[in-house]
Amino acid sequence: MNSARSILDTMSMSMKIIDNAHDEIMERGKELVECFKNGDVGGAVSMYDTDAELLTSNVPICRGIDALRIYYTMLKKRNELMINKEPYEIHTLSPFLAIERGNCVNNSSAERVPMKSRYFILWIKRDIGWMIMQDCKL
């Protein structure tokens, strides 16, 4: 009886950790989109871990804050920053790692309509909160 109660308590604690992680990541994702909508490259880049990677088609891998700043500054000049992000899954791998997958929309200087694509983000929990460790746009 005592061990069953202990298992239920552990499961309840795990669910609280997962729910909190999902809520925090959703909030960070909203902040990221707001930074892009406002053209705030510095704010967007500050949401990435120091050794983060950005993987996207037709562009070399961007590693580190400086490369991300250059990349997003170029997108801002071309008016191609993300304008919407719709996650359809957040999977908590551990209390400090999570994967977010979803659809996103970017402005396009070459097309009249915004470009829709898919993405996944690997989040890592640091002392200052959830940070993007890897960002991949497909």
CATH assignment of the domain containing 62: 3.10.450.50
Q: Confidence band (pLDDT; 50, 70, 90) for 110?
A: confident
Burial class from Cβ neighbours inside 10 Å (0-12, 13-18, 19+) for residue 100 reads buried
Q: What is d(CA 3, CA 61) in angstroms, rounded to the nearest whole number?
A: 49
Give CA angle at 98 (73, 10), nearest 5°: 155
Domain count of the chain? 1
Compute the radius of gyration of the chain from its Cα atoms. Answer: 17
Helix ranges restricted to H, 78-138: none
Check pLDDT > 90 for residue 102.
yes
pLDDT in tens, 51-89: 999 999 888 999 999 999 999 999 999 999 999 999 999
The domain in which residue 87 lies consists of: 2-137
